[in-house]
Amino acid sequence: MTLTVKEKEHWRERISRKIDQAIDTLCAQRDPGYRERVRAAARQRALESLGIAQSQARLAEIDGAKESLDREKNQLLGQMAVKIGRPDTSSISYYAQKEAIDNAIRARQKVHEKEFLAADPLGQHILDLQLEQEDLLDTVWLATSPVQIKQLWSRVGEILNQQPTMLQQHALALTPVPDDNG
């Protein structure tokens, strides 16, 4: 019986959710604050490696002062609006530069998160599970593919010097199910 693309996508999503749950369980059992500490440390390293740690700290101070002033400003505007019989409806604007900086920090943070995870046994296990998760679509397709595709996939891995994941190794070893048409 051949699976449809939709069915394969369904199984990829289901297995992905199971991997997410396994990572959550691992962290909860071994070290509940692990992921948060890794993210915080990776963010700090991202700021440092981008050369913007001091500027970011100063921006945080400025933002704190600005928020305080904005609250006071909004209270005053609200009081004034009430006195003249109108409700205050001010809006918050966001700056494109700040968004670009935040995106750069997030991208660099992901790199450093992987470095932190790779340096720790629990983190290595999480990375292995995440790699399986990232390659799930290929794995599901391999598990339901004919021998020729499996052989081609193996050869491509050899040429590129890439090892299949544990689930892909299992999928490559599965005996293909005969097609409904054949």
pLDDT at 6 over 50: yes
Per-residue pLDDT tens for 103-149? 888 988 999 999 999 999 999 999 999 999 999 999 998 998 888 88
Question: pLDDT value at position 82?
Answer: 65
CA distance 48 to 41: 11
pLDDT at 88 over 60: no
> Can you give 28-51 as a three-state secondary structure string?
HHHCCCHHHHHHHHHHHHHHHHCC
Per-residue pLDDT tens for 32-58? 999 999 999 999 999 999 999 999 999
Question: pLDDT value at position 92?
Answer: 40
Per-residue pLDDT tens for 159-177? 989 899 999 999 999 887 7
Question: pLDDT value at position 93?
Answer: 41
Per-residue pLDDT tens for 51-60? 999 999 999 9
Question: pLDDT value at position 81?
Answer: 66
164 close to 154: Cβ distance less than 8 angstroms: yes
**Which residue, among 148, 125, 145, has the nearest Cα to 137 in the 3D structure?**
145
pLDDT at 86 over 50: yes
Amino acid letter at 80? M
Six-digit token string for 39: 């993210």
